[in-house]
Amino acid sequence: MRHVVNNGKECTFGERRHGMAIVSRGFRGRPGDTHHKLPPGQYETTDFPVLSAGPTPRVDRDGWELTVRTETGARHSWNWAQLMALPSQTPTVDLHCVTKWSKFATEWQGVSLDVLLEDVETAAEFALVHSYGGYTTNLPLEDLLDGQAWIAYRHDGEDLAPEHGGPARLLVPHLYLWKSAKWVRGIQLLLEDEPGFWESAGYHDYGDPWREQRYQGD
Amino acid sequence: MAHHPDHDPGTGQYAYEDGNALAGPLSEILTVDPTSALGRCTGCGSRWPLAHLHVYAQAPGYVGRCPDCDQVILRLVRSPDKAWLDLRGTVALTFRLGP
């Protein structure tokens, strides 16, 4: 099913701005965005280039774990069977890589971060995402909520291949793809923003492709 | 190049190149030959010339990793009008210079 929705920037997050609150935004069920429209400076590709900052981690599902840690140290974790037991969605989304390729209407299956963070109490406004292999990336917590982000484990009807981030990756398609951390293993909730791997080496802190936020200062 | 797990037998390609891939982008910043500079890994302590790093160039920037322990030694990002060079993975860089 193809869902044509606008770009997600109209979402309001007022509820969360009022300090300590349960993160849950309810289950709005918007399963993704596809525009078939190129952000500035991008070109369309139909293949799926593999970009990697290091060796591809081979993560066994039996040993896989996803951990959310809050600013108070509270820890929530899911093993593979627990992740599979959660309700999933099948978003169809456009991907925009900062190296200038975009790929339209990619099909995924994964668990919405709204579901995973439903029972997590936090006053954090920022998230630092950690991957197997040591990669990190940061983004505002609100960009993980309201149907904008998933822990994705299937792509194009197949289990997610290791070179594309399998067994599971973050999928945050409204930001440049370096934010969609492959081989995700944890999300650290923080009161202060903390730059990740590329954000501390010149890339933009937020990375909105529609505003062409590639580098610091853009 | 020795066998390593990121060699893709299907395409015959390696996931990384050796540190000579840094010669062009680094010489824009450093005026001496950068790939012969000697470094030392802050993780495992091994020593090498930059030319021996494993360089992942198919990322948003260049990532140079220790050939012995895979720790990130350097990151180099080039925008249209700036370059960022992060060398936190090496204790120091030693350059051989004329007297």
pLDDT tens readout for residues A53-83:
999 999 999 999 999 999 999 999 999 999 9
Instruction: Provide the Cα torsion A165, A169, A173, A176; round to 10°.
Output: -60
Contacts of B24 (CB under 8 A, 6+ apart): none
Residue A176 is classified by DSSP as -
Share of chain A above pLDDT 70, in %: 85
Place of tokens 């790939």: B35
pLDDT above 80 for B7: no
- Shortest distance, CA B99 to any CA of chain A (angstroms): 34
> pLDDT tens digits for A86-133?
999 999 999 999 999 999 999 999 999 999 999 999 999 999 999 999
From the list A30, A4, A206, the residue with the least C-alpha distance to A104 is A4
pLDDT above 60 for B61: yes
Instruction: Provide the Cα torsion A215, A195, A197, A74; round to 10°.
Output: -150
Residues in A closer than 8 angstroms to B82, CB to CB, are: 202, 215, 217
Distance in angstroms (rounded) separating the CA atoms of residues B53 and A72? 39
pLDDT at A34: 74
Residues in B closer than 8 angstroms to A135, CB to CB, are: none
pLDDT above 80 for B4: no
Q: Which residue has the higher pLDDT, A217 or B8?
A: A217
Q: Among A54, A97, A202, select the one facing B65 at the smallest CB separation.
A: A54
pLDDT at B99: 82
Residues in A closer than 8 angstroms to B69, CB to CB, are: none
Q: Domains of chain A, with CATH numbers?
A: 63-211 (3.90.420.10)
Q: Which contiguous run of DSSP H or E holds residue A114?
A: helix A113-116
